[in-house]
Chains A and B, each alone.
Chain A
């Protein structure tokens, strides 16, 4: 079974631009979560989607948004990029998102904002 895939793997943007990242979960998984990883703040939860609905959201500004499609693929969007948005963005999938389920992570998208 193929793992979680994320595209693109690397991205360079300038301040003020917007960016869209994509995540394809493991086949059959319906829950997708997004995380931001930075050296200063570590790994922080952004949001979670299940059946095209956002069920959970972390403490991030409204510039960060996401969506999920009927095939469970998910995208996250960051508008008006700031230098501090430079990070590794990880997505993870699981079957239904229950707290005892294992989350399977993708390799991440490394975003650099100049």
Chain B
């Protein structure tokens, strides 16, 4: 079946540190891949997406590359800020899934000044 595995958190970093959050998936064919972010007390916001192999999604300094050979979609940012503190979810949308997202468990990021 379809599934997403994320690295467990929490991840604690100092401001301006490099961030990597690992995400791997299991799916049939070529699903679309997404990173969503959830700030305290809010719903989910799309951070970036990729819809085919070798696509790179990017937004607000965050990047992730769709790697079919390693079934991965790791999230990276070169220099984190305190305002990036949130929970990050990796998700896939399976082929024919009709607006169905399968999420990883989420990784909580805390950035300290």
- Chain A 60-114 interface residues, beta-carbon cutoff 8 Å to B: 90, 92, 94, 97-108
Is A22 close to B, CB under 8 A?
Answer: no
Chief secondary structure at chain B's binding surface: loop
| Residues of A bordering B, CB below 8 Å | 4, 31-33, 35, 42-45, 48, 50, 55-56, 58, 90, 92, 94, 97-108
A32 to B106 alpha-carbon distance, docked (Å) = 22
Residue of B nearest to A4 (CB): B43
Contacts of A56 in B (CB 8 A): 97-100
| Residues of B bordering A, CB below 8 Å | 31-32, 34, 36, 42-46, 49, 51, 89, 91, 93-106
Of A58, A101, A103, the most chain B CB neighbours within 10 A belong to A103
A85 to B95 alpha-carbon distance, docked (Å) = 29
